[in-house]
Chain A
Amino acid sequence: MSVELLNFIETVINGLMSGIMYSLVALGFVLIFKASGVFNFAQGVFALFAALTLVGFQTGQVPFSHLINELFGTNFHNWYPSLHSFFAIILTIITMIVLAWLIEKLVLKHLVNQEPIILFMATIGLAFVLEGVGDLMWGSDVKVLDVGIPSGGSEWLEKTTIGWASEGSEYYGMYIDVLNVWATIIAVILVTALALFSQYTKTGRALRAVADDHQAALSVGISLRSIWVLVWAISGFIAMVAGIMWGTESGVQFSLSLIALKALPVLILGGFTSIPGAIIGGLLIGLGEKLAEIYIGGLLDIGAIENWFAYFMALVFLLFRPQGLFGDKIIERV
């Protein structure tokens, strides 16, 4: 095989796998939008908050230690030296469930029947609160997150692929981040689990009923509010998974919350209401972005078109299908 072809294959694989990382964030958006009609801008900050909390539990940091030290002149930082990742993850999941419950209790309950834009702004407010509280609780320095997922290039793959290039050409093998492979595996498990859960359990059926029609679900005795708590908790869990993945890759810091902006084109491409849409949208966006960066960006000699190319791509799709690839058809009546 020629080097160009091998490079192309490498780009495609890397693109698809970075797309999976976007899908992980988009998935949380879709779940919440389906069940409660809320466009949850805070999903990215959810991921940041979950990752911060996870690191905090792992290293045994005292919540709000900075603040307490500053106010009272004390000097304490850690409860205990370290905690096994497994228990830290369990504790983080519990935190996210409590958070979901609080959000329903304090925010959503009071905003039922408001216009979508008001709910959207409320989630922006929520994003600010979580960001501020996260920083106050755990400090704003960049943290290293390690839960034992391997990362870095795969040597095995590099060695295998070197032989594929045609004789005499300079080729050093494919570079594929192992972390992305793990993200793919975890995403597959997650989606399968979600699908099984919503197909075969009673709560899952209630979930789908609420997503289908709020009023009809209410009238057959499904409690909307408990479903909302459940959905926000599941989204919190997905956010934690996304936070672990992104946090392992680039450290836990404020920029982690900006992955929400990366997930938005995935959402409009796939449609706000479709879980397969989130996955396929993510794959398409990841692929398109990487190919554009290398082939179009290289051609024009301008870098960083990644920033807007995803949006542009989603826009082109939207011009043909205004509801996204898999979104519910928009039916309008006067």
Chain B
Amino acid sequence: MSPLLAAAARRLGRRSPRPEPAGEPDAALVAELRAAIGAERVRADAAARYLASRDASIYSEGTAGPLCFPVTTTQVSACVRIAADHGRAVVPRGAGTGLSGGAAPLGRPVVLSLTRMNELLSVDLDNGVAWVQPGMVNLELSRRLAPYGMHYAPDPSSQQACTIGGNVATNSGGPHCLAYGVTSAHVVALEVVLSDASVVTLGDLTAEPAGYDLRGAFVGSEGMCGITTAAAVRLTRNPAAVRTMLMAYDDVSTGAATVSAIIAGGIVPAALEMLDRRCISAVEDFAKAGYPRDAAAVLLVEVDGPAGGVAASADRVAEIARANGAVSVRVAADDDERARLWKGRKSAFGAVANILPDYYLHDTVVPRSRLVEVLEQVYEIADRYELTALNVFHAGDGNLHPILAFDARVPGTMERVHAAGREIIEASLAVGGALSGEHGIGVEKRDYMERMFSEADLDQQSRLRAAFDPHCRLNPGKVLPSAHSCADIGALRAADGKLWG
């Protein structure tokens, strides 16, 4: 049926009138945004703003103002300029898979959703880079590069959904970053819109760009220094051979000992991941990866490179695993089995609701030698707060992802979750660890920054941010704690957040 007829028929046949949307706030701002980028690309209704008020984390401290879906760099720039004219902040947003509240707006800022800017702009095989728009989905990028025998190496567990823009903002990692390095090592240049709406390019395609490495400063700046509108990412050649192995252990500590022994043996696997018993059981129903449900922990190890070298490394890894108490060592026979093993690992965080309906996924880094000690503390802390802890993590680089699973509907739970979270962070810092491995600081770790950095450190970070965004317009209230933030975080929290009616 033609749209016209359907619309007419819909009007005639309606039994009761649809409720009118609640009065749109920010009418003048919205009108200007619509005039600049097209009416259909600006949403000011409660439903759209409600959904743009959070990401995949448990943090939601403010509400989104008008929500824009720009499709060009010029439109992003126009949105930033109009927001500035109205004295409003801007928060960029990709797929909203972040776990630290980085895209969750504070106050009532203009939110820029970059999901429509998802083109692969060019592939430059001579320089080994591709220019992509920020809304390009990480896994989709690798799929699009496959015909060239290339891929994009950083592979966060959410890679099937998360976007390159968000990866740049948080300097994302992923299982394969153990050997290949994190996002920063794979982004050679960026086109960004600054807070004054100007468009600049940071970095270039040469090996040694002139001047300061502003690209390096920008990657991981969590939307506070500018908005990425295009990224030149490094192409990584697909390895000639890959071998993926799954090892089962009767206890977590022998698994962790294997991790240290593999690295000490001079082997740097492409990936080295660990899942504990509860995690195994949560993912197994979904992924049918064949993880042994009776194991206390499994290690997922991948080695890649030239065929001969891979075979030798794999044998050596298996030998080390057995010497360190592995109960079984399984080598994926084909690509299909390999894909299933990875599906298990990469769906771990999403599978938590098979146990309990809510989760808080942590992200801390500890020295590899202290892994076991901290893991034991995590279980102990969770027990003490009557929470369920699951552990799935990048064992190779000591990047822990303890998951606290809970049911937020039970009164008093959130208090226990936050208290336990605080203790887990303290425990990681106490052994010389870091606040975040790859998820970013966002809202989640903001108030812990003073535990890790000195006054002078934080002042410098604040100044760097001010150099990019002197008027505190971009993603205010994130990363830097109150005393060092350009924004009045208390006031942002108190901003009018009325959404419905």
Real binding pair: no
A interface residues, Cβ below 8 angstroms from B: none
Question: Interface on B for A, CB 8 Å cutoff?
Answer: none
